[in-house]
Each structure stands twice: as structure tokens, then as C-alpha cells.
Amino acid sequence: MNSTAAIPALSAAPADEVDWARTLAVRAKRVKQRRQIFDLIAVSYLIDATLLLMYAFADTIPFGAVPAYLGCVLLILVATVTLSEHGFHDRYKDYFLVLPTSAVLIGLALGFMACVPQAALVFTGTLLIIFSVASLHASRKECVVGWSVLTIALAVLFLFTDHPISVPGGSLLERLTTLLVLVLTIGRCMFVSMYSASLRETLYKRGVELREAYQRIEELAELDELTGAFNRRCIMRMLNEEIARAERNATPLSLALIDLDWFKRINDGFGHPIGDEVLRTFAITIFANIRSFDRFGRYGGEEFLLLLPNTSREQSHAMLERLREIVAELDWTAFSPGMRVTLSAGIATMTLGETADAALARADGALYTAKEMGRNRIFTI
């Protein structure tokens, strides 16, 4: 009893290990993505610090503002990277924590805009870049709330304080620095826009790939793995659809149950691999010689179901007779010397109000009759 109970635990262990390995791989990928984002943030703030330093050399702002700004940025980045490396971000759906990080960086920009109003243009550009990045991940509601809060903060800063917020342009160095602020801000916004476009393109390609994969899965779910014909579940669904269509349009519908003669002897005498090849070749031959709107599926074993929409009793018999001759005339000796493959088929043409089961029963009876008559023949009810 105890040994039996231990079996599930033993078999479950590998699955748990696989899940754990997959989780670690996902986390590692996320950490790598965050590192790339943090590198870009660091480069962006290094550009801002360089611009502030140029304003300091132009006597626009005090030199002390530059190390103070760099110190605050460094403190935020170190704290953020540390939390990221220890998996704090992975606890949340937004594993970049874009909104909390953006809120901290916006607060930093507004604070220095108030403390160093002479270089407010630099921090205004920073705000534009932060909002450009945050909008890629934020919802519509979050964007509206963020924009509203920022509008209130800027209104207080511009309307209810005496800070002389201006665009420096007195000296040549100030004008050059202001030019660089504008150019680099636009450039970084363009980079964010290109990144967004690249992200959309990647998502679109993945969506196409997923749709193709889903379509392929649907096809595989409908096809017989060995022969490529529709499987039993699918061909039976198609039979019901064709019956409904025939009744709706008042058109004839015939169906044929096809059986490979003495197929068990082929399997026993030549081996199952040869038997499988015979089934594949037979299915391909039928596909190549039926109409585009006919439906062909594997009903079970070596038995197949062929649906012939808009086909009368006489027409269906002629079509099956032609298929019988084609199969019989194939060079089956390519698989094994002396091999010969033939088929027998029973055909039933639907009558008004007849069910699928009733029609199949009649076709099965016709197939039985064809076999009783010596096989390699077609019998129509």
C-alpha cells in the first residue's frame, strides 16, 4: 500500500522540476529585459547631467546642482536595480513597475525644476521622455490620471511660485546648450517612438505566428495522423452539415463506405509499416481523383467514408467505379513483389428526412453486399 502511494509522488517530481526550470528561465529573461531598460535610463540621465554641467559652465545654474542631481538619480537607479535583481518586480503583473518608477522620476524632475528653474527646459524634456515611455505600458485611465496630476503640479509651479522659469539664451554656450536640450530631447522621443513601432511590429508578427499555429492545431485536430484524411469526428460533422445543406437546397447527396479488400492479410503478410504505406498511398490516390467539394475521411481502420454532395445515385456509382479501377491499376509491387490492392464500396443516396445514422447503416449494408459478391466491386442501394 505504501509503495503504491509513493508512485504518484515520484512521477510528479520531474514535472515540478520542469515547472521550476521554466519559471527560472522566465525570470532570467525578465531580469535581462529590465537591465536593458535600466541601461537606457542611465544613458538618458547621463545626457541630462551633461547638459546641466554645460549650463553650470555657462553660469546659468550653480555647479552644486549637477552632483546633487546625479546623486538622486544614482540613488533611484541603485534601489530599482537592487529590487529587480532580487525578484521584487516579478511579484507584479507589470514586471517593469513602469508606473511607480515613472512617478518617482517625475517627482525628481519636478523637484529640480522648482529648485533649479534656470534649467527647467532640461527637466521639461525629461518629463516628455518619461511620459513617452510610461504610455507604452500604462492603461488609458492611468495615462489620464498621470497627466492630470502632472498638470496640477506644473500649474502650481508656474502660476503660484515666483521662480523665474525661462529658456536660457544669453551667452553662446547657453544658446548651444539650449539647442542641444531641444535636439536631444526630440531625438530620445523619436527613439521611444521607434521602439514602440518595433514593439508593435514584433507583437503583430507573434500574433500572426500564433494564428498560424492555432490554425495548424485545428487542422491537426481534424486530420487523421496516418493518412492525412479527415478523422472520424470531423467527417461525421461534415456529413451532418452536408445533409442539412442538401435538404436546404433540395439537392442529392450520396455517401460511400470504402473498405480495402483483405487488408488484414496485407498487414500480416507484409508487415504493419507496409500496411501504413498502403493506407497513405490509397488516401492520396482518392484525394487526387475526387472533386474539390467532395469530402473524404477515415471512418476507422481500413474503412473510409466519402461524401459526394450534389451527386445522384447513378453519378456516385460511376465515380466509385472509376476510383475502384484507378486503385486496382496502381503498381502496388513497388511496396512488395506480388502485392495487389483493391477496394470494395457501398453507396447510399440520401432520401428525404433520412438521418446520418440511417444512411450510414444502408451504406454499410451495401458494402457488406459488395464483399459477399466477391470484393473489388461497388454496390449501390
Provide the pLDDT for residue 2.
41
Provide the pLDDT for residue 20.
72
Mean per-residue pLDDT, 193-207: 81
Where does the pLDDT of residue 260 fall: very low under 50, low under 70, confident under 90, or very high at 90 and above? very high
pLDDT digits (tens, 9 = 90+) for 16-56: 666 677 777 778 888 888 888 888 889 999 999 999 999 99
Provide the pLDDT for residue 5.
42
Q: Cα–chain-centroid distance for residue 100?
A: 30
Give the C-alpha separation, 361 to 367, whole Å.
10
pLDDT digits (tens, 9 = 90+) for 53-97: 999 999 999 999 999 999 999 999 999 999 988 888 888 887 888
Where does the pLDDT of residue 11 fall: very low under 50, low under 70, confident under 90, or very high at 90 and above? very low
Asked if residue 13 has pLDDT above 70, the reply is no
Provide the pLDDT for residue 63.
93
Average pLDDT across the chain, whole number: 88
Where does the pLDDT of residue 219 fall: very low under 50, low under 70, confident under 90, or very high at 90 and above? low
With 0-12 / 13-18 / 19 or more C-beta atoms within 10 angstroms meaning exposed / middle / buried, residue 310 is middle
DSSP string, 141-199: HHHHHHHHHHHHHHHHHHHSS--------SSHHHHHHHHHHHHHHHHHHHHHHHHHHHH
135, 155, 154: which is closest to 143 by C-alpha?
A: 135
Cβ-count burial 218-228 (b if 16+ within 10 Å, e if not): eeeebbbeebe
Cell of 133: 515611455
pTM comes to 0.55
Give the C-alpha separation, 128 to 159, whole Å.
20
pLDDT digits (tens, 9 = 90+) for 334-346: 888 889 999 999 9
Asked if residue 8 has pLDDT above 50, the reply is no
Where does the pLDDT of residue 176 fall: very low under 50, low under 70, confident under 90, or very high at 90 and above? very high
Yes or no: say if 270 and 292 are a contact pair by the CB < 8 Å rule.
Answer: no
Block residue for cell numbers 521602439: 195
What domains can you pick out in the chain, each with its CATH number? 2-215 (no CATH), 232-380 (3.30.70.270)
Provide the pLDDT for residue 15.
57
Where does the pLDDT of residue 4 fall: very low under 50, low under 70, confident under 90, or very high at 90 and above? very low
